[in-house]
Amino acid sequence: SSNPVRTQSFQARKGFKKCRWHQVVLTYYVLNLIDISIGNNRLKIQFGGAQMTALLGNARSIIIDSGTTLTYLAKDVYDQVANVVANVINHECFYPAKQDYLCHHVENNGDPYEGLPEMTFHFANADWKLPPSNIFRMVESVIACLAIKDGEVPIFGNVVQPNMHVKYECTQG
């Protein structure tokens, strides 16, 4: 999808500035999210209630963006993910003051990610399996925070992308 944006360019001539308007199209790489698995549990995500903006227009669409840190999911999808993560981890969960990250107290016996689940994003043509280190941020040695939040526009951010090679097909159609 694209949104036209008007930009200006100026050219100086003999003390005058000439203003020219150019049409610029903002482009996003959009993936079609089919489902999400946490550990070996496929969630069978219900996308029907997702409130989507006109930008994407489809409840299953998610932008992949290496310039955005966190991953954002539509609120109803995020709620389903957060509930299953909380059940799998089975430790106290909380939202720290001044942050709205969902965090969990975890046991750290040398590997801070031990006992945290993997997550797989099932896209239309591929599955993207994420280790716990790409899903959780350790804010203290015994506190793991989910690097996924709810947001108005679903975005697959850069925290989930390390050590992955992403090939973009840049054809129009």
Whether 95 maps to a domain, the answer reads yes
Whether 170 maps to a domain, the answer reads no
Structurally, the chain folds into a number of domains equal to 1
Provide the domain limits for residue 154. Answer: 29-160
- Average per-residue pLDDT in the chain? 78
Whether 7 maps to a domain, the answer reads no
- Per-residue pLDDT, averaged over 73-94, amounts to 88
Whether 169 maps to a domain, the answer reads no
pLDDT higher than 70, residue 46: yes
- Model confidence band, residue 3 (pLDDT cutoffs 50, 70, 90): very low
C-beta atoms surrounding 63 within 10 Å: 18
The pLDDT assigned to 49 comes to 52
The pLDDT assigned to 76 comes to 87
Whether 12 maps to a domain, the answer reads no
pLDDT higher for 98 or 66?
66
Q: What is the pTM of this model?
A: 0.76
* Parallel/antiparallel/unpaired status of strands 127-130 and 119-123: antiparallel
- Model confidence band, residue 163 (pLDDT cutoffs 50, 70, 90): confident
The domain that contains 75 carries what CATH number?
2.40.70.10
Whether 148 maps to a domain, the answer reads yes
Whether 84 maps to a domain, the answer reads yes
Q: Tokens representing 86?
A: 């909380």
pLDDT higher than 80, residue 151: yes
